[in-house]
A and B are shown apart, each in its own frame.
Chain A
């Protein structure tokens, strides 16, 4: 068990985004969070990497218990994420954007970096190599020097995944990685997610709307509806669950 969430509740004033949600994530699995619009999926992810602090409940990550994360601590612990609305530096090149993902792993201070001798240089070369390996992995060599703002949406999503990978995370949180993609881009992204999981052993929690994708690549699925967990299990179990069907298709009143 790499991560478990116990009775987490989150409210914004009177709006209850999450109420008493509990679930766990096993080491090396791909765990999907699904649910209709406004079910609390993104809020859950934001709780996991410390953007929101829940009013109630515990998060257990690698045997340490937190009542709330903060983003820096989460990053330092090895939690990386991508965003639903792409959050890249538009004016910077793909290479530089991915390099920012190495931020947590840079040891040299400002002065050393400025002089760029000895250890700073060695460090930079080492990080550059890691970044190049990610570029190779995602097959985006041809846009290495292109400013991110000039890229089509699908490739920007790819770059964002690249930046998250650059942190060499233990746990990778993906917020709708396939939203707005065409079929071919989706297939590529699925392959990348599976490859990351397989090759680097990264545990992945993803939010996704495309049910085909979710059912194909995830090991277990949590279903949220109005901030409550209504189902949890393998894709087959969840697919058959009456509560899930009702939540998605609506119920006769």
Chain B
């Protein structure tokens, strides 16, 4: 396939319609049956829509907003917009109306596509603030029959108008598609605006096609692969997996029937190429664990027995490392009895390549999937880099790194440990925000990620924190609080952790125990307690948490860069950190500075020889009243490991 001349997505689509016209391009479960569009049908639908949009006045350089769940019609619409040289701007379908106003104003959007009444209502709500918006197309007519607004037009009407226009002037669209070039913007994706106003990231056809091709080659993706499209289309990952990569390789994507049926649909489809953020993988594992608890004794015994085997040798087998003969036999038996059926229940029987990314993944969670034979790997990238920056190659998968650079990507770290990226997949600009563009992308073309990390001895990238949060201990060694906190939070007994050490000689931590997990644990041991504060102050619970912290320390000691930031002392807080008390943000991120100020007495005690610390704190109840709570908190020293000794042990 000569990708060189096929430098835009519409050209790729027309190519597939020729080269593999009868192969499935996109499926959707509708009325209980999987309905398929072949590449030829996909291209025909797209052509008709594009002509329809042209008659509606969409021109080269315009922006068109799309708010929809994953549906074949959404993707046809996106590509139709691209056919005309206009730019699709997918928006998060679960965003509230107010959040949609900024992108529409920013990009001066005139035409929008909405999946159903819910999305139409949101667009109509913000229309007074977005005077440019003059046309809304909708797919599902349910509930919209009596809407008097003249802006509304049904998808079917648009397509039919387009078909008629295509018949009158078939050459027009060919010309428009041919006019497109790789340097045109293929999509504009808005970054989430948790910290500031959102920024529209403009990505070119060239950038997206280049990265999608390189990654597909690395994993050997082809037209026989199948992927499930179930994450928001406005997120760059879903855009890559359900538009860019299928358009490059010709694989088929499947749209679930509804968000609630994703698990069942996945089992029916059996994707070969899968992406899931850690929280989805965790939810799946929880479901499995709960169902195993309810299983018969024999099954539970088999599960435990064979999961031990899998934990020991499963990962090594997947990596192609040598494994003893007897273990191979055992694993084979386990595959027949446990792992195979388990993969089937998870819908992962046919998965060849699975990625996870977005946030740190717990090593146990990661190893679980690999041990049962699912080739789960980590991936690093962002909207600005067309996703693919680092991928773990088969056979070199580690739980705590994101792998080496993908071919074509240059990486380097600044002295402040910020990761810089130069890649053909870099974004063109932040739309209408040259200042932000300049700040993010310097004159030499390096993109400043804002992520801090370093190369491990094998040349894999290890991301530890955001640059602005990374500090130094008194002796100048690296201190990455969030990295430590995440490591602690991977234990089920730890709900939140707050690590301190900036400018100090050692690291200390506040721990928030997870009430559900610890209460359950206490119940199994017949430990009576009167409430949260009481349970949190128990020596047994301190022992439990100290064990977790110790394991983190042992782990840190293995790493030359981080050995110095082992946690020396900790205390368990008497109450749960709460957004209502301003200790957490609304998205549940710890506000380290605020907590340090609020609990200054505790913090000082941690850095003094004291064995206990007294806390008197204001708490705000849910009805708005405030009260005071006072408690005597114990402080516990934890065993730390010398870095050298740990290396010898490893």
Residues in A lying within 8 Å of B, measured CB to CB: 128-129, 132-133, 135-137, 139, 141-142, 144, 195, 198-199
Determine which of A128, A137, A141, A198 lies in contact with B257 in the assembled complex, contact meaning CB atoms within 8 Å. A141
- Whether B32 pairs with A142 at a CB distance below 8 angstroms is no
Q: How far is the CA of A127 from the CA of B284 in the complex (A)?
A: 35
B146 cross-chain contacts in A, Cβ below 8 A: 198
Q: Is B530 part of the contact surface with A, judged by Cβ < 8 Å? A: no
B143 cross-chain contacts in A, Cβ below 8 A: 195, 198
| Contacts known (A135-B32, A136-B31); A142 close to B142, Cβ less than 8 A | no
- Whether A133 pairs with B31 at a CB distance below 8 angstroms is yes
For the complex with contacts A135-B32, A198-B143, A198-B145, 18 further pairs of A-B residues with Cβ separation under 8 Å are A128-B32, A129-B31, A132-B31, A133-B31, A135-B31, A136-B30, A136-B31, A139-B258, A141-B257, A141-B258, A141-B260, A142-B258, A142-B260, A142-B264, A144-B32, A195-B143, A198-B146, A199-B145
Residues in B lying within 8 Å of A, measured CB to CB: 30-33, 142-143, 145-146, 257-258, 260-261, 264
Listed by A's residue number, 24 A-B pairs whose Cβ atoms lie within 8 Å are: A128-B32, A129-B31, A132-B31, A132-B32, A132-B33, A133-B31, A135-B32, A136-B31, A137-B142, A139-B258, A141-B257, A141-B260, A141-B261, A142-B257, A142-B258, A142-B260, A142-B264, A144-B32, A195-B142, A195-B143, A198-B143, A198-B145, A198-B146, A199-B145
A142 cross-chain contacts in B, Cβ below 8 A: 257-258, 260-261, 264
Q: How far is the CA of A142 from the CA of B146 in the complex (A)?
A: 29
Q: How far is the CA of A199 from the CA of B257 in the complex (A)?
A: 22
Q: How far is the CA of A19 from the CA of B31 in the complex (A)?
A: 47
Q: How far is the CA of A129 from the CA of B32 in the complex (A)?
A: 9
Q: How far is the CA of A129 from the CA of B35 in the complex (A)?
A: 14
Closest to A144 in B: B32
Q: How far is the CB of A154 from chain B (nearest CB, A)?
A: 14
Q: How far is the CB of B542 from chain A (nearest CB, A)?
A: 41
A129 cross-chain contacts in B, Cβ below 8 A: 31
A199 cross-chain contacts in B, Cβ below 8 A: 142, 145
SS class of chain A's interface: helix, strand, loop or mixed?
A: helix
B33 cross-chain contacts in A, Cβ below 8 A: 132
A128 cross-chain contacts in B, Cβ below 8 A: 32
A141 cross-chain contacts in B, Cβ below 8 A: 32, 257-258, 260-261
Q: How far is the CA of A138 from the CA of B156 in the complex (A)?
A: 23
Closest to B264 in A: A142
Q: How far is the CA of A115 from the CA of B258 in the complex (A)?
A: 35
Closest to B263 in A: A142
B145 cross-chain contacts in A, Cβ below 8 A: 198-199
A137 cross-chain contacts in B, Cβ below 8 A: 142
Q: How far is the CB of A212 from chain B (nearest CB, A)?
A: 21
Closest to B145 in A: A198
A133 cross-chain contacts in B, Cβ below 8 A: 31
The 10 A-B pairs at the shortest CB distance, nearest first, are namely A142-B260, A132-B31, A142-B261, A132-B32, A141-B257, A141-B258, A141-B261, A136-B31, A142-B258, A133-B31
Q: How far is the CA of A129 from the CA of B31 in the complex (A)?
A: 7
Q: How far is the CA of A155 from the CA of B312 in the complex (A)?
A: 44
B261 cross-chain contacts in A, Cβ below 8 A: 141-142
Closest to A95 in B: B32
A198 cross-chain contacts in B, Cβ below 8 A: 143, 145-146
Q: How far is the CB of B519 from chain A (nearest CB, A)?
A: 26
Q: How far is the CA of A198 from the CA of B147 in the complex (A)?
A: 13
Closest to B259 in A: A142
Q: How far is the CA of A136 from the CA of B258 in the complex (A)?
A: 10
Q: How far is the CA of A10 from the CA of B606 in the complex (A)?
A: 81
Q: How far is the CA of A26 from the CA of B619 in the complex (A)?
A: 59
Q: How far is the CB of A137 from chain B (nearest CB, A)?
A: 8
Q: How far is the CA of A145 from the CA of B31 in the complex (A)?
A: 13
Q: How far is the CB of B504 from chain A (nearest CB, A)?
A: 49
B32 cross-chain contacts in A, Cβ below 8 A: 128, 132, 135, 141, 144
Q: How far is the CA of A141 from the CA of B143 in the complex (A)?
A: 19
Closest to A135 in B: B32
Q: How far is the CA of A133 from the CA of B31 in the complex (A)?
A: 6
A195 cross-chain contacts in B, Cβ below 8 A: 142-143
Q: How far is the CA of A51 from the CA of B17 in the complex (A)?
A: 60
Q: How far is the CB of B266 from chain A (nearest CB, A)?
A: 13
Q: How far is the CA of A143 from the CA of B32 in the complex (A)?
A: 12
Residue picked from B31, B33, B145, B264, most chain A C-beta under 10 Å: B31
Q: How far is the CB of B259 from chain A (nearest CB, A)?
A: 9
Q: How far is the CB of B521 from chain A (nearest CB, A)?
A: 30
Q: How far is the CA of A135 from the CA of B32 in the complex (A)?
A: 9
Q: How far is the CA of A83 from the CA of B318 in the complex (A)?
A: 56
Q: How far is the CB of B536 from chain A (nearest CB, A)?
A: 34
Q: How far is the CB of B70 from chain A (nearest CB, A)?
A: 15
Q: How far is the CB of A158 from chain B (nearest CB, A)?
A: 13
Q: How far is the CB of B118 from chain A (nearest CB, A)?
A: 11
B257 cross-chain contacts in A, Cβ below 8 A: 141-142
A135 cross-chain contacts in B, Cβ below 8 A: 31-32
Q: How far is the CB of B32 from chain A (nearest CB, A)?
A: 5
Residue picked from B145, B146, B260, most chain A C-beta under 10 Å: B260
Closest to B143 in A: A195
Q: How far is the CB of B93 from chain A (nearest CB, A)?
A: 15
Q: How far is the CA of A141 from the CA of B264 in the complex (A)?
A: 10
Closest to A136 in B: B31
Closest to B141 in A: A199
Q: How far is the CB of B359 from chain A (nearest CB, A)?
A: 27
Residue picked from A128, A133, A136, A137, most chain B C-beta under 10 Å: A136
Q: How far is the CB of B449 from chain A (nearest CB, A)?
A: 39
Q: How far is the CA of A195 from the CA of B145 in the complex (A)?
A: 11
Closest to B257 in A: A141
Q: How far is the CA of A198 from the CA of B146 in the complex (A)?
A: 10
Closest to B29 in A: A141
Q: How far is the CB of A133 from chain B (nearest CB, A)?
A: 6
B30 cross-chain contacts in A, Cβ below 8 A: 136
Residue picked from A135, A137, A139, A142, most chain B C-beta under 10 Å: A142
A136 cross-chain contacts in B, Cβ below 8 A: 30-31
Q: How far is the CA of A128 from the CA of B260 in the complex (A)?
A: 21
Q: How far is the CA of A133 from the CA of B264 in the complex (A)?
A: 19
Q: How far is the CA of A135 from the CA of B33 in the complex (A)?
A: 13
Q: How far is the CA of A14 from the CA of B361 in the complex (A)?
A: 73
Closest to B140 in A: A136
Q: How far is the CA of A195 from the CA of B31 in the complex (A)?
A: 19
Q: How far is the CA of A90 from the CA of B539 in the complex (A)?
A: 50
B258 cross-chain contacts in A, Cβ below 8 A: 139, 141-142
Closest to A145 in B: B264
Q: How far is the CA of A25 from the CA of B168 in the complex (A)?
A: 52
Q: How far is the CA of A132 from the CA of B334 in the complex (A)?
A: 40
Closest to B262 in A: A142
Q: How far is the CB of A191 from chain B (nearest CB, A)?
A: 8
Q: How far is the CA of A200 from the CA of B30 in the complex (A)?
A: 20
Q: How far is the CB of A155 from chain B (nearest CB, A)?
A: 11
B264 cross-chain contacts in A, Cβ below 8 A: 142
Q: How far is the CA of A137 from the CA of B141 in the complex (A)?
A: 12
Q: How far is the CA of A142 from the CA of B145 in the complex (A)?
A: 27
Q: How far is the CB of B225 from chain A (nearest CB, A)?
A: 26
Q: How far is the CA of A136 from the CA of B32 in the complex (A)?
A: 9
Q: How far is the CA of A129 from the CA of B258 in the complex (A)?
A: 18
Q: How far is the CA of A135 from the CA of B258 in the complex (A)?
A: 12
Q: How far is the CA of A141 from the CA of B142 in the complex (A)?
A: 17
Closest to B260 in A: A142
B260 cross-chain contacts in A, Cβ below 8 A: 141-142
Q: How far is the CA of A141 from the CA of B32 in the complex (A)?
A: 8
Q: How far is the CA of A141 from the CA of B261 in the complex (A)?
A: 7
Q: How far is the CA of A118 from the CA of B142 in the complex (A)?
A: 34
Q: How far is the CB of B105 from chain A (nearest CB, A)?
A: 31
Closest to A198 in B: B145
Q: How far is the CA of A126 from the CA of B398 in the complex (A)?
A: 53
